[in-house]
Chain A
Amino acid sequence: MAEETLVLFKNIRNPKYDKSLAAYKKSGGFKSLKKVFGMKPEEVVQEVKESGIRGRGGAGFPTGLKWSFMAKGTGKPSYLVANADESEPGTCKDRELMLKDPHMFLEGLMIGCYAIGCHHGYVYVRGEYFPSIKSLNAAVDELYADGLLGPDPLGSGFNLDITIHTGAGAYICGEESALLDSLEGKRGHPRVKPPFPAVSGFNGCPTSVNNVETLACMPFILGDNGVEAFKSFGPQNNSGTHLVSLSGHVNRPGVYELRMDVNMKDIIYEYGGGIRNGKKLKGVIPGGSSSPVMTADEVDVLYNFDDLAKKGTMMGSAAMMVFDEDTDVVKLLHRITRFYAHESCGQCTPCREGTHWSRQIVRDFLNGNGSDEKLQRLNRVGGNMMGTTLCALGDAAAMPIQSFVKKFPEEFRKYYATV
């Protein structure tokens, strides 16, 4: 079987690792934090910038740049909020980190807090992740008991607190401004931007929201020679390793830590062991359900942000869903539209009405009432949600609809063509 490149999963892949603080320290943990406490915060941000790390939550925005946007001199406290809402269908990687090596992630969070001057970091965990919440709470308790959290971690004088906050079941709360509204104790409605969270976020204070995996990379990046090593794992502008959640009709679904220059074909056939039951590949949803679908003959491409973008799709949260020749693509699209209709917050007109209407049209196909005209209408309604909504959920709902119609038109026609 092909090899993983172990950075984040370094401890997790060790069968003897018991995720305790002692074990984490033994494997080299908190050395980076100690080094960071001896640096200036701006230096930390600069190193992160140079590493080229891009957000692992789906948007792929350069993290160092995001941290450099934090408003300074406002007189208000700064906040770092870890986005552990992980609700993008297909994604199950952050839970691996939180469940099996919470301290690596927490160290990364603490490094981030220092970099942006935040004394109280929050981890927003989706409410359904009961095991992860328990794991994180236990880990945080260990850190307080050890003095790594509290008034004087590692003698730095930089008082630091962490609170684990639970969500209550809403995909939209993965969107950073909706997450902040939810963290503030309100409904999870995305906010009008500007102002951006870096200027006015949690309770109106400068805030940075970062994905769990992104933060978990920080101990490595800020370690010895970390920046160069991190950059070496992938092509230019696509540095580091990343966690790929492989699911669907493969023999070996799972979460794999890979370099950024691995071919998608290899992920499916080498790591995933090929299509199960000896079937043929029909298509792949490459980056969470929000990404445009790819047909079987499009998967000869390197799996990273830019190479996939060039192919007209996106890597997103690196959640690959593979489906075989027997898959009913229209039923699959129906399930996807049902998801977005359920998760739309309902604030803005195109998403509130468009997600539900597009689902009704796809269901019409499944009920045998399809037509060319309705296919055009589906494409149009989906497209009308693109770029007109208040947040990216509209775009996320539009892209699967338009890509499925474009790539698999004959699957729809199967439902109504009499010839």
Chain B
Amino acid sequence: MPVFHIDGEPVEYEPGEKVLSAALRCGKIIPHYCYHPGMSVVATCRMCLVDVVDLGNGRPAPKLQTACSMDAAEGMKVETLNPKVEEGRKLVNEFLLVNHPLDCPICDQSGECTLQDYAFEYGSGKSEMDYSKRVNGWRDIGTFVALERNRCIQCSRCDRFTREITGTNEFGMFNRGHELTIDTYADRPMTNKFQGNMADICPVGAITEKEFRFKRRVWKLKKNRSICTGCSTGCNVTIEHDRNEVFRLKPHENQNVNKWWLCDEGRLTYRLMNERKTRIHQPLGRVDGKLEGVSWEEAYAAIAERVADMSPLPEEVLALTDTHASNEELFLLQKLLKDVFSTDNTFCPLPKWEQSESEFFINTLITTDKTPNRAGALALKIKGDAKSAKLKKAIEAELKVVFVLGNPFEAEVEVLEKIKKAQLVVHLGTFHNSWSEIADVVLPGQYYSEKEGTFVNKNQLVQATEIAVHALRRTRPEWRILADLSAALGQQSSYGSSADVFNAMTEQLKAFSGLSYAEICGVGKELRQQTKDSGMKVVKAQT
């Protein structure tokens, strides 16, 4: 690859690439506001001014050039640390602060504000402006975000976002010069489903998320990488939390999945991470018709005893789960039924779903399949719609033992009625639902933010969640519950972690062969053998 030099160090670039893009890729810091890799170049903030001492033809550029609009060239020499560039950054910073309000003490962006960071790093440190500042006021611009126009530095990222990324043209630039404002016109709030991204790309606190406003200072937040479980796209996120409370999800860049974006619906899944009232807090056993708290050992012992009494035949045992479960959970559930009860009657619903097609990539992110692991279930060959013949037949039998993981067949009352008749119903789940109401034993699992697990997204990419917050004290991750349950029923195993289970899967299953846990936890990796999904339909996205 051709090479040019920044401050004497060689930087590789692709032909046609701009200086700033190549520099950022190689870890060089050139400050900028308006540049964004996913949108067109406008070169209006002027913060990325650099000194091109050699254009590649032996001659210097006549004045400072913006790195974001300058094509890299062989033999080019760029300097970013000399006094000319320092002066350039200082003056741009000064001009931006001339009309910017001193809102830091009350501004959400404080701590992750590009203007704040650059003012500290490159600014002159004193103000020479003693006239009244331009005042434009607060605007309600949408369901998800608010606009504080005084803070806007007119970088126009939000304007380009609604034009180039979502194609909804809700934002625009109005008036000109000193009066230039970038917002929605009149009172037409935005309705696109990706407004949260505009708060992400805004370098200052002009656009902020309504959900997060005034809730927590960002430097108190701990950040863990994970994946969104709101639908089968599995966008990469960071879970940002403080003292075990999750405050927001932000997208993590992954060019193979969600690029830089996250939909608003996905951002709101953070609320479930904090939900406590409907959580199952401890193991429960039914005594005289009522569910009472028991210990884990008591629960396992009770199940083992009843199974030994019943000695169920294979066709008298059944497991129901849903595609919210991780690969490890599905694998171990299947294994439990196979090893202990010699049956493969594990079912989960796989309703039809729609994938949007659109000239705007971001519209393809939201699918109608609101579960994260449909492809995993398919890869593990677990299937069974409520209307499937095999399931219908299975639940008609005189059922003795039924395991329910999660909340499958939520709306299918007939299934619930049939299962109710079984002699022993064990429910593994995180939230109280209709299954825990009829179960004989309820074993509390953990939510996505509290456990590790791998999931396969709609494009057959295997990705993993990371433990972000502490789980509820008396819950255990489902993979562990299933392993312990197997052991209590006579099948020992030696899994020490979720990763161990995954590694076992890569050894025993062709679909998962050749994958390593470390790779999954990075940017994700595709399944070697991919299963065709006959339930998917491609539709044109609504604009």
Contact = CB atoms under 8 A, between A and B. Distances in A.
A389 B46 CA distance: 7
B171 to A, nearest CB: 14
A192 B66 CA distance: 10
Given A346-B154, A352-B154, A357-B98, A341 B46 contact: no
Nearest to B174: A187
A346 B46 contact: no
A233 B131 CA distance: 51
B440 to A, nearest CB: 69
Interface in A376-397: 377, 384, 387-390
A377 B64 contact: no
A349 B177 CA distance: 10
B128 interface: yes
Given A353-B99, A354-B95, A384-B95, A345 B42 contact: no
Contact of A350 (B41, B91, B179): B91
Contacts of A389: 46
A93 B310 CA distance: 105
Interface in B45-98: 45-47, 49, 63-64, 66, 69, 71, 88, 91-92, 94-96, 98
Interface in B124-150: 128-129, 131
Given A192-B41, A389-B46, A349 B176 contact: no
Interface residues of A, number: 28
A235 B46 CA distance: 40
Interface string B259-278: 00000000000000000000
A355 B180 CA distance: 13
Contacts of A355: 177-178
A349 B92 contact: yes
Contacts of B45: 348-349
A353 B154 CA distance: 11
B239 interface: no
Given A346-B176, A354-B95, A356-B177, A377 B128 contact: yes
Nearest to A190: B44
Given A347-B44, A377-B128, A390-B46, A352 B64 contact: no
Given A192-B69, A348-B45, A348-B46, A353 B95 contact: yes
- Chain B interface category by residue count: 20 to 34
A352 B46 contact: no
A300 to B, nearest CB: 30
A240 B173 CA distance: 43
Interface in B105-135: 128-129, 131
Q: Which of B44, B69, B71 has the most CB of A within 10 A?
A: B44
B61 to A, nearest CB: 10
Given A384-B95, A387-B64, A352 B178 contact: yes
B178 A387 contact: no
Nearest to A373: B128
17 contacts: A187-B173, A194-B69, A194-B71, A343-B177, A345-B176, A345-B180, A347-B42, A349-B96, A350-B95, A352-B177, A353-B98, A356-B178, A384-B94, A387-B63, A387-B64, A388-B46, A389-B46
The 10 closest A-B pairs by CB, nearest first: A346-B180, A344-B177, A353-B95, A387-B63, A356-B178, A384-B91, A347-B44, A348-B44, A346-B177, A360-B131
Interface of A: 170, 187, 192, 194, 341-350, 352-357, 360, 364, 377, 384, 387-390
Interface of B: 41-47, 49, 63-64, 66, 69, 71, 88, 91-92, 94-96, 98-99, 128-129, 131, 153-154, 156, 173, 175-180
Given A353-B99, A357-B131, A384-B95, 7 more contacts: A345-B180, A346-B179, A353-B95, A354-B95, A355-B177, A356-B177, A387-B63
